[in-house]
Amino acid sequence: MDQLLGMAFDVFRAAGNGIESIAQAGDRGIIAHTIDYISRRSDLILELMLEHLWLVVLTLIIAVTISVTVGIIISYYESFAQTVLGICQVLMVIPSMAMLAFMVPLFGIGFTTGVVALVLYSLLPVVRNTYTGIRELDPAIVEAAKGMGMTERRILFKIKIPLARPVIMAGVRTAAVMMIGIAAIAAYVGAGGLGELIFSGISRGHQPMIIAGAIGVSIIAIAFDYLFYYGEKRFSVEGSTREGN
């Protein structure tokens, strides 16, 4: 017990030292430095944020289009599904640095490489959620639709996709937030965005730069998460008009 307390104490002391050393980084403290940096270079930061946003939005559109299509297709071919989901799983566990490095010989250095790598990363959550969202629908609903004479196409667009939409959107939300983080690393292969700020901050030992980049990434991530949360509430028609009995 004493040993445990001692260990806890060590951890606290180490954390305290860390904060102190950050605070001692300059005469006026790191926070003031950062605010100063942000106000001086607000043009650059805003430009990089927009670049970052563009990278994420473009990737998201491509990734969701591919993933939803793949998810729908594998929901019809059960034997195929596990293989496809397995591949997506493997893609996702590759460390992001390694994935970006793999892409460079194929697509060179630049924006395209970043987009391709990010698309490959974000396949799994959306493919998997589309697939399970459709597979786990109440079979009675699908049977009733079929028995009444709806074509497979109509069942897909009028019944399956609308009912699976909340699950699909949850996947998109996961993918988006994940992608915003990884997009920062994509600056490593010249894809641009807030990652540039972070990487050059690291190489120059310029802490306010790193923090400014991190804040920018966080703002985008929180904004996206809120946007999806709000969208989910707004579009769940059943929720807004449902009456009690």
Partner 1 sequence: MIKLEGLTKVFKGHNIPAVKDLNLEVNEGDVCVLVGPSGCGKTTTMKMINRLYEPTGGKIYIRDEDVLQMDPIKLRLDIGYVIQEIGLFPHMTIYENIATVPNEKQWPKDQVKEKVDNVMSLVGLDPDVFKNRYPSALSGGQRQRVGVARAMVSDPSIMLMDEPFGAVDPITRARLQNEFLRIQERMDKTIVFVTHDIDEAIKMSDTIAVMKEGQLVQHATPSDLLSAPADEFVSNLVGRNRSIKRLHLIRISEILEDVDRAPAIKDDTKEEEVKKRLDESDLRTVIVVDRDNKLKGVVGVNDLKRKTGEVAGDYYQEVSDTVTDDATLNDALSVMLEIGEGYVAVVNEDEKYQGTITLGDLLNVVREES
Residues that bind partner 1 (CB under 8 A): 138, 140-151, 154, 159, 162-163, 237-238, 241-245
The set of residues, in sequence order, having a beta carbon less than 8 Å from that of 124 and lying 6+ positions away, is 85, 88, 89, 91, 92
Nearer to partner 1, 28 or 154 (CB): 154
| C-alpha–C-alpha distance, residues 155 and 160, integer Å | 6
Nearer to partner 1, 30 or 163 (CB): 163
| C-alpha–C-alpha distance, residues 222 and 8, integer Å | 32
Closest distance to partner 1 from the beta carbon of 84 (Å):
24
The CA–CA distances, whole Å, from 114 to 60, 77, 132 equal: 12, 31, 29
Closest distance to partner 1 from the beta carbon of 65 (Å):
23
Nearer to partner 1, 95 or 147 (CB): 147
- In the structure encoding, which two tokens stand for residue 114, read together? 């970043």
| C-alpha–C-alpha distance, residues 74 and 130, integer Å | 9
Closest distance to partner 1 from the beta carbon of 237 (Å):
7
| C-alpha–C-alpha distance, residues 28 and 163, integer Å | 56
Closest distance to partner 1 from the beta carbon of 241 (Å):
7
Nearer to partner 1, 39 or 245 (CB): 245
Question: How are the residues of the chain apportioned to helix, strand and coil, as percentages rounded to the nearest 5?
Answer: 85, 0, 15
Residue 111 near residue 140 (C-beta atoms within 8 A): no
| C-alpha–C-alpha distance, residues 108 and 117, integer Å | 12
Closest distance to partner 1 from the beta carbon of 7 (Å):
53
Closest distance to partner 1 from the beta carbon of 165 (Å):
9
Nearer to partner 1, 204 or 234 (CB): 234
Nearer to partner 1, 153 or 203 (CB): 153
